[in-house]
Chain A
Amino acid sequence: MACTHGYQEKIHQYIDQEMSYNEELTFKNHLMNCENCLLHFRELNNVEKQLKNAPAISQPSTFKQDIINRLPKESKPKKFAKTIKEHPLITACAVFLVMLMTSAFIEFQSDQNVYVSNYEGIQVEGNRVIVPKGKVIHGDLTIENAIVEIQGHVNGNLTLVNSELAQTNSNISGEIVQVNRFFKWASMRLSREVTEFFQQFIYQ
């Protein structure tokens, strides 16, 4: 009959030297009084000893050269794939940047609507933006995708994005800035979006 006191697991704990001193005393005490556990212990101890005494296997010869001969040669596309795998952060940044640029570029091309930053007192006829005679515009003015006629007066800077100035009577007290390039458009656009975003909060 096997011992029912759950000492089988304890035998393994003892062999693995995972017992506290007190546990060990109780365990040994039990062994002295339980024939089954003692036999079990002796057998496991023997297994343990034989496992530890198993002879080391000597290798017949070295196969270093055989292994090196079997190594695959690296191809160039694989090397590229390897660089990508090794630097996931840089890859992610590059992909993100490319996507950002593409989407911005697409928007740049589709954004061909006339835009005027301040419509007060300004006439818009098709793609023509006119500041009528006698009108005075206070503050800076930004106009996009339009042909601009200034007959009145602008009291500030005039920024023209993808726009032409058809008529100048030098009625502008500030500077005239022409923006046609993509990057400048992008920064202009960004600052506009940001101000509009904050304006929303102010109005709410």
Chain B
Amino acid sequence: MENEINQIIKQVKKGNKDAFGVIIDAYERRIYQHCYRLLGSFHDAEEVTQEAFVKAYTKIHTFKNKQKFSPWIYRIATNTAVDWMRKKKPLYILDQPIAVGENITYLDHVKNTSETPEETIEQKENQDEMQQFLLQLPSKYRVVLVLRYMDELSIKEMSEVLDLPIGTIKTQLHRGREALRELMHGRAKGGQ
């Protein structure tokens, strides 16, 4: 699989856009899921996925043929999503809980007043409880948890995606899980 992809990338480097279509087919679903888990919005996930693929195409010459493609594309998608979070902050705050420990967001208040098609999407998003918890975490913890559990990457692959040593990845994963535990079980971290 990786070998085939690297062959296709040689074609893309020569300027073959159809070859890039094959890459999109192979990774689109995974990258979209990754972006959705990081951003918590279908619209944003779609936009960021597209942006990430366009970036991958324009930067394809920086991809070395000995490299593995999947960590490379996850890395671009992650960076694009984190940039997006920074830029979108004012709107993004609407999804955040009003007070710590409560799961009611500003959007929940707005929702009670009217019913629009957009809201059915929002509701669908809210059904996924884990997503709501993830969105409350600092982005660096969210990124490691999503890569590990939603994208099902190994620790080694994660260290390639984030360009961090394996030890650091493990520490962040532990802290991320602790932060999530505090959110889900509403209990302060004991004794540390």
A residues engaging B (CB < 8 A)? Answer: 1-4, 8-9, 12, 15-16, 36, 40, 43-44, 46-48, 50-52, 54-57, 59-60, 62-64, 66-68, 70-72, 74, 79, 82, 85-86
A2, A59, A72: the one within 8 Å of B192 (CB): A2
* Docked-complex contact B28 and A62, CB < 8 angstroms: yes
A8, A66, A72: the one within 8 Å of B50 (CB): A66
B57, B131, B173, B192: the one within 8 Å of A71 (CB): B57
For B174, give the chain A residue with the smallest CB separation.
Answer: A12
Nearest CB of B to A19, in Å? 14
B residues engaging A (CB < 8 A)? Answer: 13, 15, 17, 20-21, 24-25, 28-29, 32-33, 36-37, 42, 45-46, 49-50, 53-54, 57-58, 61, 128-131, 145, 148-150, 170, 173-174, 177-178, 180-181, 184-185, 187, 190-192
For B145, give the chain A residue with the smallest CB separation.
Answer: A51
A12, A54, A64: the one within 8 Å of B21 (CB): A64
For A51, give the chain B residue with the smallest CB separation.
Answer: B149
A66 CA / B15 CA spacing, docked (Å) = 18
* Docked-complex contact B46 and A43, CB < 8 angstroms: no
* Docked-complex contact A63 and B61, CB < 8 angstroms: no
For B125, give the chain A residue with the smallest CB separation.
Answer: A57
A47 CA / B186 CA spacing, docked (Å) = 12
* Docked-complex contact B61 and A54, CB < 8 angstroms: no
- A-B CB proximity, top 5 nearest: A2-B191, A2-B190, A51-B149, A12-B174, A54-B130
For B191, give the chain A residue with the smallest CB separation.
Answer: A2
* Docked-complex contact A1 and B191, CB < 8 angstroms: yes
Nearest CB of A to B34, in Å? 9
A86 CA / B184 CA spacing, docked (Å) = 50
Asked if A63 meets B49 with Cβ closer than 8 Å, knowing A2-B192, A68-B24, the reply is yes
* Docked-complex contact B185 and A59, CB < 8 angstroms: no
Question: How would you classify the secondary structure of chain A's contact residues: helix, strand, loop or mixed?
Answer: helix
B25, B180, B191: the one within 8 Å of A64 (CB): B25
* Docked-complex contact B37 and A57, CB < 8 angstroms: yes
Nearest CB of A to B75, in Å? 18
A101 CA / B181 CA spacing, docked (Å) = 69
Which residues of chain A are within 8 angstroms of B192 by Cβ–Cβ distance?
Answer: 2, 8
Asked if A59 meets B28 with Cβ closer than 8 Å, knowing A44-B181, A54-B149, the reply is yes
Nearest CB of B to A18, in Å? 9
* Docked-complex contact A56 and B184, CB < 8 angstroms: no
* Docked-complex contact B149 and A52, CB < 8 angstroms: yes
Nearest CB of A to B150, in Å? 6
Asked if A43 meets B181 with Cβ closer than 8 Å, knowing A1-B191, A51-B130, A70-B54, the reply is yes
A85 CA / B63 CA spacing, docked (Å) = 12
For A61, give the chain B residue with the smallest CB separation.
Answer: B46
* Docked-complex contact B46 and A67, CB < 8 angstroms: no
A165 CA / B50 CA spacing, docked (Å) = 77
11 CB-based A-B contacts, threshold 8 Å: A2-B190, A36-B190, A43-B185, A46-B184, A48-B177, A50-B130, A59-B29, A59-B32, A67-B53, A71-B17, A74-B15
Which residues of chain A are within 8 angstroms of B180 by Cβ–Cβ distance?
Answer: 47, 51
Nearest CB of A to B123, in Å? 15
* Docked-complex contact A3 and B32, CB < 8 angstroms: no
A85 CA / B42 CA spacing, docked (Å) = 37
A36 CA / B190 CA spacing, docked (Å) = 9
* Docked-complex contact A67 and B177, CB < 8 angstroms: no
